[in-house]
Amino acid sequence: MGNWQRQFGSQLRVVDLLQEGTTKLQDGGIAEPRLNVEWLLSNLLRKRRAELYIDELEKPTNSEVVTKFRALIERRLQQEPLQYLTGETEFMSLPFKVTPAVLIPRLDTEILVEHTLQAIPPEKAIKILDIGTGCGNIAISLAHYRPQVEIVAVDVAPEAIRLAKENAKINKVEKQIRFLVADVLGEDFVAQFDSKFDFVVSNPPYISEKEFSTLPIEVRQFEPAIALQGGDDGLTFHRRIAMVTSELLTSGGQLFLEVGYNQSQMVQRILKKSGFYSIRTFRDLAGIERVVTGVVS
């Protein structure tokens, strides 16, 4: 038991835990320590963050809460991602469960979803393939905001597919999405589909082997490497997806790909070589070309 734990008894108020956790995370060099503690404590107490300050501050906590809270703080100090500690996150203003079996959805990927949504014709029935669905955040967001779409969402990891199905039920779009365990690198990938798609969307692994070693500890050590590493140059999956989707898309169908820093031009060349035209890029909030899209003949 650390010194910080010995300083406090088990009968503590919520405000005491807020202060205790904030001090510990701040001393441990964790960014935004107060916000981290608010999320951990609100999740533990099943209260909204605002409720901690409105109704809960002076309420005493029991020894079980204190023990669990301190254990979460210790795990956060080891750089374990906040979203894995709470088991949940938000994407496109929707709730998602997350586990270490899946990549934590990023704000950058909302750019991919937003531009895909803009391209979907209003009220028209559209078939979409989501490759590498993870927790299902892309497919579920598209289904939520475009109720007329029909989606097939695939991932190589059975654990990811199970979680994505659960998230689809949470967001009430399970009837619009069929989830499938499938490996886009497998020789039989195309053969698993009995019809073509109007859109293919993917946030594939795009971290190069060299870049992977430079990632922050909380990404490199805790998030699934299979969802991050894209081969020697980070583009193994982009090449494969461009090749298979040129077969899976209907004439005039569109491919939307998320890309990493400085990968846009290379991915544009990959799409052009695979027969795509009207190739465009979209920037994220930092001005980085984050999405590459193209149309198949």
Q: In this prediction, what percent of the chain has a pLDDT beyond 90?
A: 92
Residue 195 has a CB neighbour count (10 Å cut-off) of 8
Q: What is the pLDDT of residues 72-125, one digit of tens each?
A: 999 999 999 999 999 999 999 999 999 999 999 999 999 999 999 999 998 889
**pLDDT band at 282; cut points 50, 70, 90:** very high
The Cα–Cα gap between 111 and 149 comes to 19
Amino acid 147 reads P
Matching residue, tokens 């503590």? 12
Q: What is the pLDDT of residue 149?
A: 97
Q: What is the pLDDT of residue 8?
A: 47
Q: What is the pLDDT of residue 241?
A: 98
97: three-class secondary structure by DSSP: strand
Tokens of 74: 């210790």
Q: What is the pLDDT of residue 11?
A: 77
Looking from the CA of 233 toward its CB, the CA atoms found within 13 Å total: 9
Closest CA to 24 of 37, 9, 35: 37
Start-end of CATH 3.40.50.150 domains in the chain:
100-296
- DSSP label at 60? B
Is residue 2 pLDDT above 80, yes or no? no
pTM: 0.92
Closest CA to 157 of 99, 232, 106: 99
Q: What is the pLDDT of residue 122?
A: 84
- DSSP label at 101? T
b/e per residue, 57-88, with b = 16+ CB within 10 A? Answer: eeeebeeebbeebbebbebbeebbbbbbbbeb
Closest CA to 245 of 178, 166, 190: 190
Q: What is the pLDDT of residue 55?
A: 83
Amino acid 126 reads I
Q: What is the pLDDT of residues 154-191, one digit of tens each?
A: 999 999 999 999 999 999 999 999 999 999 999 999 99
Q: What is the pLDDT of residues 206-237, one digit of tens each?
A: 999 999 999 999 999 999 999 999 999 999 99
Q: What is the pLDDT of residue 5?
A: 46
Tokens of 127: 């078939």
Topology (CATH) of 100-296: Rossmann fold (3.40.50)
Q: What is the pLDDT of residues 127-149, one digit of tens each?
A: 999 999 999 999 999 999 999 99
Quote the strand ranges of the chain, DSSP E. 88-91, 94-97, 126-131, 149-155, 177-181, 197-202, 249-258, 276-283, 289-296
**pLDDT band at 4; cut points 50, 70, 90:** very low
Q: What is the pLDDT of residue 29?
A: 96
Average pLDDT across the chain, whole number: 94
The CATH class that applies to domain 3-78 reads mainly alpha
The Cα–Cα gap between 80 and 227 comes to 17
Q: What is the pLDDT of residue 56?
A: 83
Start-end of CATH 1.10.8.10 domains in the chain:
3-78
